[in-house]
Amino acid sequence: MRSLILAVAFSVTASVAFAAADEPIQPIQPAKVANAAMVELGKKLYFDPRLSKSGFISCNSCHNLSMGGTDNLKTSIGHNWQKGPINAPTVLNSSLNLAQFWDGRALTLQDQAGGPIANPGEMASTHTLALSVLQSIPAYVAEYKKVFNSDKITVDGVTKAIAAFEETLVTPNSRFDKWLKGDKKALTADELAGYELFKDSGCTACHNGSAAGGNTYQKMGVVEPYKSTSPAEGRVAVTKDEADRFYFKVPTLRNVELTYPYFHDGEATTLTQAVDVMGRIQLGKSFTKEENAKIVAFLKSLTGDQPSFMLPILPPSNDATPLPQPFDK
């Protein structure tokens, strides 16, 4: 009897795995934490505004974990209330990307983590200043030593810890994932019809894999030119080639109902608008109102379990901590 039960269980598991493997989008797997202490340190650093020159901008400012890992702004606001040139991509499931940033100029999450700290339009600090702030805080020195066995805090350690935390920010168990794993009641008829339209129209040529995107660079405006009013229409930084203008990393569609507005310039304010524009300029297809609504219904089924954790209590500064500089003179 036991062998029969095991055989049946294996058969069901295998059939579900086969069904999922046969689809262009794959389920997201839960995060595996290799070093809990490093993740906890990275979480504190992610939420700590003292990494910025002003003392009030943190990683979470533009990649708010209460708002789908982004800020729901057309373009983000940085130091001295500067308006950024490009829409902030979600940090959720960013570990599944082939590279980071819209132009892919950072190959890893660790590479990306150090950029905003020293960017004059974002956190506007310097690595030297940020490290001096952290080094002046005894609790950070002690926690850093526990993780890295060193009394000296370095950029490499800080960015490694932030990346370790960001690697935990995956969103498994969406209703679509449950459907992929065999729960045929997880999706409505309209959502299933939307998924079939999504596949049949060619959307999965770019939006595939477990992140439903993030694994290729594509030109925006294949069938007809994309007209943008944003300075973000520049070229892919990793090539610096004029021929690569309007080539961007394909964004993930996971949790897309939470990450509005859409596109690199934030020009699409709703999923309905985004589906309409992408259909026309990428596929040469004009979706009817009903078709559009079904695709949007499917896209909303991609929202998974959001990261859930206790907000960190940040260690206090002391008399030796450099004062923030809220406004440039």
Active site residue 122: yes
Residues in the chain: 329
Segment holding 218, helix H or strand E:
strand 217-219
Q: Tell me the C-alpha to C-alpha distance, in Å, between residue 105 and each of 217, 237, 246, 319.
A: 12, 6, 15, 38
H/E element holding 135?
helix 127-135
Exposure b/e, 234-250, CB count within 10 A at least 16 = b: bbbebeeeeebebbbbb
Catalytic residue among 40, 122, 191, 233: 122
| C-beta separation of 174 from 254 below 8 A | yes
146-149: long-range contacts, CB 8 A cutoff, minimum separation 24: 146/37, 147/35, 147/37, 147/38, 147/41
Active site residues: 122
